[in-house]
């Protein structure tokens, strides 16, 4: 089990793996921690640093390397941070393809991954933001979609 002091290192490693996946898949250059002005009106816009952004500003990604709690429950506070990421992504122009990429974190008791749970319970907040899960063991990224 990781201590909280290791979280930034684990998150940065996850972000780099996801950036490499996007680079290899889309065959374009991606930048880490790129600032993009967001806001409703031009005079109110402020820079927000997105985890991964295509150099041509066609794709923006926020990474979430979260797992279920030790007892298999939902990490509620972390889901709030994921909603915050969705909000920031939603403020980008529609010219961007927008992703929240979560670590593939299965829960056998629930029969779903954390990304599937997040999508199922929060899809009404997502608009054009896609939720995907990345499996570092297989280097696969899958967009989560409705199972209905």
List, run by run, the mean pLDDT of 10-residue segments along the chain (148 residues). 65 96 97 94 91 98 96 93 96 96 94 96 95 97 84
Residues facing 32 on adjacent strands: 52
Q: Which long-range contacts (CB under 8 A, 24 or more apart) does 7-11 make?
A: 10/65, 11/63, 11/65
Q: Which of 3.40.50.300, 3.40.718.10, 3.40.50.12280, 3.40.1350.10 is the CATH number of 4-143?
A: 3.40.1350.10
Q: What is the model's pLDDT at position 74?
A: 94
Q: Which helix (H) or strand (E) holds 47?
A: strand 46-54
What's residue 5's pLDDT?
55
């Amino acid at each position: 089990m990781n201590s909280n002091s290791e979280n930034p290192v684990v998150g940065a490693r996850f972000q780099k793996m996801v950036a490499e996946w996007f680079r290899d898949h889309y065959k374009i250059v991606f930048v880490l921690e790129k600032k993009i002005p967001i806001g409703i009106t031009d005079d109110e816009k402020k820079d927000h640093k997105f985890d991964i952004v295509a150099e041509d500003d066609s794709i923006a990604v926020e990474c979430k390397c979260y797992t279920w709690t030790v007892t298999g429950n939902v990490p509620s506070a972390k889901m709030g941070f994921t909603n915050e990421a969705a909000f920031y992504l939603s403020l980008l122009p529609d010219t961007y393809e927008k992703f929240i990429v979560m670590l593939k974190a299965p829960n056998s008791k629930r029969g779903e991954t954390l990304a599937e749970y997040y999508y199922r319970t929060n899809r009404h907040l997502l608009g054009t933001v896609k939720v995907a899960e990345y499996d570092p063991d297989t280097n696969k990224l899958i967009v989560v979609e409705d199972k209905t």
